[in-house]
Amino acid sequence: GGRYEAVVPHWFWCKVTDTRERWVPFSAQDSERLEEAHGAGKEQGDVVVPTSGGRYDVHLRTRQRVAVYWEEEVSEVRRCTWFYKGDKDNKYIPYSESFSEELEEAYMIAVTLGEWKKKLESPNREVIILHNPKLMVHYHPVASSDDWVSTPTEQGRPRTVKRGVENIAVEIPNGEPLQIDHLVFVVHGIGPACDIRFRSIVQCVNDFRNVSLSMLQAHFKKAQEQQQVGRVEFLPVNWHSSLHSTGVDVDLERITLPSINRLRHFINDTILDVFFYNSSTYCQTIVDTVASEMNRLHRLFLQRNPQFKGGVSIAGHSLGSLILFDLLTNQKADPEEDENCAQGSRTASSPGGTEEVKEILKKLELSEYCDVFEKEKMDRQALFLCTEKNLKEMGIPLGPRMKILHYISSKTEMKLWLHPQSPGNTSTEIVSSTNLNIPLSQVSANYPQLNYKPTIFFAFGSPIGMFLTVRGVKRIDPNYSLPTCKGFFNIYHPFDPVAYRIEPMIVPDLEFEPMLLPHHKGRKRMHLELKEGLTRMSVDLKNNLLGSLRVAWQSFTRSPVPALEAGSTEAEAEAEAGTEKQTDTKPEEPPAAKEESPPLINVGRLNGGNRIDYVLQEKPIESFNEYLFALQGHLCYWESEDTVLLVLKEIYQTQGITLDQPLPGSQ
């Protein structure tokens, strides 16, 4: 007989998509942890093991995998040792645990006694034959007769049987670093589907997270080796389901026309979210859901990761970014921060503050309440921070309450975005400083407060610019910054039909390009270089038809935008010397270079003085048909390495950790 070595189990979970089952292996570290708990906890009650970076709990006794932060069907978990694969299966499928034990026992006897050609019957009357350690097969019983046929070969093609996970072609995922440096909440946009394949926000954020893990390995290797960097956790925030559970769908159903059925349902499910957001009834539901969900996730995350010391950032896609923007503009900063925001201009809590409140009440014909406000020491600034609840507590009846709230919202809306015209004009100066931190959108909603101050706000494919314009905001005061969040990036794909820029609203008089997001492998995308190179080459050839081809060739290989690319080469210098004579060959280049260099453009304090608008580079195929790729452009952010890398770079920069090699074109 031979030497028998026990099989090494690996843990799998069952992924069900449209009734199709697929068994997915846990990462090596998760599987080891499960095996350890399985070995230790036989007598105890239900042992719970956190897996997949703490986003799923496995209940060992019931063999279930349960999502922690969002709702999801529970998946079956299995401790796998033996697998089979039929003709039509493209992946190996694990046998049940009890039958695997029988197989293992038969295998052990066969090895120790050296007796092969062992025959076993599976629970549903199928036959497994162990010919030798390398060849083990599984036969289907013949459907026609109940008797076992002596020659199993007649029973159609057998299935292959394998022992141990190392013998089946399956990719065991890499585990995730245990240390979490930063938490990012991701809020989805319109409708329940987040990308072109109609996947949910959970799946899209999973992609984003996976891309971020590979980007960390590629671009933060040094920091990872020195253990400065673990990973960033991305958690999805779902609000669509709670909006559509208000019974509004049934009402819509009644009034929806029967023609072009699918299109109308698509519109009811998606584009209508925008209208819902603009109606005060549903807007309140949406902002409440988003804020309470983000606070709930934050609390739960801290409970599960008590040692977490990192910051929290937030990201929103399309309408999600607008919801976050409105929430963030309505956060209340600490008083000392308000002072900073006022930046030395006269603040409103000056001695005449309460006098101003009297004036306002007089204007609203509510003079009889002056004493109440005086007793509560309400100056103008305090009045503008009032919520309905505060006024109610002060004993102001409903009618006057409504008048005061309407006045507050109309004033803040009108004046927040006014730019102080001149230093002498104190009235607008006061306005721009005191109301700087309480803008209200046109939709009057009571905006909840978040439990934390976000480090950075990332907007992907965002219509913020368009919505502000529609709400009558002409421009954003360069001194304005979000009360509790110092960073703001607006990232979009050039063909995204929903995306709008922000910077021109801060600097309306200057025309300038957005920042080009560096390709994650450095340089520009090859086809963009080709496109620019070919354009230059044709200009050179036209102007100097008889000129040597060498000059043209050099102009083709010349690196594109000076400000974007690092260092010029000798060939470039030569090429430039060769083309110096034709001054009209490249009339557009010098200004382009100027536009690209960030220090010349001051885009205000919304992103702490840094640039806000970042545009992705399109893929070669996309530039052939912009319309065809428009929808895809709006949904491409989840798997875009360039987007993920910018997010990681900015997050880690706040902790003083930089990329291994700075990318060309990045600030």
Residue 15 corresponds to which tokens in the numbers above?
Answer: 């992924």
Query: Which amino acid makes up residue 129?
Result: I
Sheet containing 10-17: order of strands: 20-25, 10-17, 75-80, 64-67, 56-59, 48-51
C-alpha–C-alpha distance, residues 182 and 611, integer Å: 22
414: closest CA among 474, 492, 487? 474
Sheet containing 135-139: order of strands: 93-94, 82-85, 159-163, 135-139, 127-132, 118-121
C-alpha–C-alpha distance, residues 154 and 248, integer Å: 61
- pLDDT in the model for residue 142: 56
- pLDDT in the model for residue 631: 56
Residue 193 corresponds to which tokens in the numbers above?
Answer: 């589907």
- pLDDT in the model for residue 647: 94
Give exposure, 181-212, as e/b (b: 16+ Cβ within 10 Å): bbbbbbbbbbbbbbbeeebbbbbbbbbbbbbb
Per DSSP bridges, beta strands 456-460 and 487-492 are parallel
- pLDDT in the model for residue 77: 96
C-alpha–C-alpha distance, residues 287 and 294, integer Å: 11
Q: What's the gap between Cα 244 and its chain centre?
A: 22
C-alpha–C-alpha distance, residues 434 and 347, integer Å: 6
Query: Which amino acid makes up residue 530?
Result: L
C-alpha–C-alpha distance, residues 19 and 202, integer Å: 19
- pLDDT in the model for residue 629: 56
Sheet containing 231-237: order of strands: 231-237, 180-187, 311-317, 456-460, 487-492, 613-615, 515-516
C-alpha–C-alpha distance, residues 252 and 249, integer Å: 5
C-alpha–C-alpha distance, residues 110 and 102, integer Å: 12
173: closest CA among 51, 295, 323? 51
Q: Which helix (H) or strand (E) holds 212?
A: helix 201-219
Residues for the chain: how many in total?
667
Burial degree of 237 (CB within 10 A; 0-12, 13-18, 19+): buried
C-alpha–C-alpha distance, residues 490 and 43, integer Å: 54
Query: Which amino acid makes up residue 663?
Result: L
DSSP state at residue 417 = T
User: CA separation (Å) from 426 to 351, 430, 434, 473, 666?
Assistant: 16, 6, 12, 21, 40
- pLDDT in the model for residue 538: 53
pTM for the structure as a whole:
0.71
Catalytic one of 31, 212, 313, 318: 318
Rounded average pLDDT per 10-residue block, the chain, 667 residues: 84 89 93 90 77 94 94 94 81 90 87 79 74 79 51 62 87 88 91 66 91 91 88 92 72 78 68 77 88 95 94 93 93 65 37 69 85 83 82 87 82 48 32 36 77 95 88 88 94 84 91 85 55 53 47 47 36 39 38 43 88 83 53 72 92 88 61
Residue 599 corresponds to which tokens in the numbers above?
Answer: 């220090």
C-alpha–C-alpha distance, residues 254 and 230, integer Å: 52
C-alpha–C-alpha distance, residues 420 and 424, integer Å: 9
Provide the 10 A C-beta neighbour count for residue 54: 16
Extract the runs of DSSP E, i.e. beta strands, from 404-486: 456-460
How many CA atoms within 13 Å lie on the side-chain side of 216? Answer: 24
Helix (H, G, I), strand (E, B), or coil: what is residue 121?
A: strand
Q: Which helix (H) or strand (E) holds 402?
A: helix 398-416
Question: 């299935």: which residue's tokens?
Answer: 159
Torsion angles phi and psi, residue 120, rounded to 5: -125, 150
Helix (H, G, I), strand (E, B), or coil: what is residue 530?
A: helix
219: closest CA among 646, 655, 654, 667? 646
Which residues contact residue 624 at a Cβ distance below 8 angstroms, ignoring those fewer than 6 apart? Answer: none
372: closest CA among 387, 392, 398, 347? 392
- pLDDT in the model for residue 348: 35
Active site residue 245: no
